Amino acid sequence: DVKVTQSSRYLVKRTGEKVFLECVQDMDHENMFWYRQDPGLGLRLIYFSYDVKMKEKGDIPEGYSVSREKKERFSLILESASTNQTSMYLCASSHRASGANVLTFGAGSRLTVL
């Protein structure tokens, strides 16, 4: 069963901590994405990547960075976590042939920053 795996379902961090959210896909997809989901705001794109070592800013990149050293892994980094980054984070991937349309999502990582 192909899938996108997010390493942590729940995390609790303190303000100012550095946070790593890891995402791995086993579908050999070229495209990978990080979204955050907040009630009433839907899904907002943070960063995406169309290839190894490549990244593009989404709609809300401030306070975040990403790393794509291997095709199957896309990491989201919060350099200094703040309380307004408490949210559900969703990783997704897609095959280049489908463009960015047919996304396969992970189950999400719920981050709480105290």
Partner 1 sequence: GQQLNQSPQSMFIQEGEDVSMNCTSSSIFNTWLWYKQDPGEGPVLLIALYKAGELTSNGRLTAQFGITRKDSFLNISASIPSDVGIYFCAGRRNQAGTALIFGKGTTLSVSS
Separation of CA 79 from chain center? 14
CB 21 within 8 A of CB 81: no
CB of 16 to partner 1, least distance (A): 27
Look at residue 39 and give its three-state secondary structure. Answer: coil
Report the residue from 21, 29, 35, 81 that binds partner 1 according to the rule CB under 8 A.
35
CB of 62 to partner 1, least distance (A): 12
* The two three-digit tokens of residue 43, written as one number: 């899904």
- The verdict on 107 binding partner 1 (CB under 8 A) reads yes
Planar angle of CA 91, 27, 53, nearest 5 degrees: 60
Report the residue from 44, 71, 73, 95 that binds partner 1 according to the rule CB under 8 A.
44
Under the rule (CB under 8 A), what is the footprint of partner 1?
A: 4, 33, 35, 40-45, 48, 50, 56, 58-60, 90, 92, 99-103, 105-108
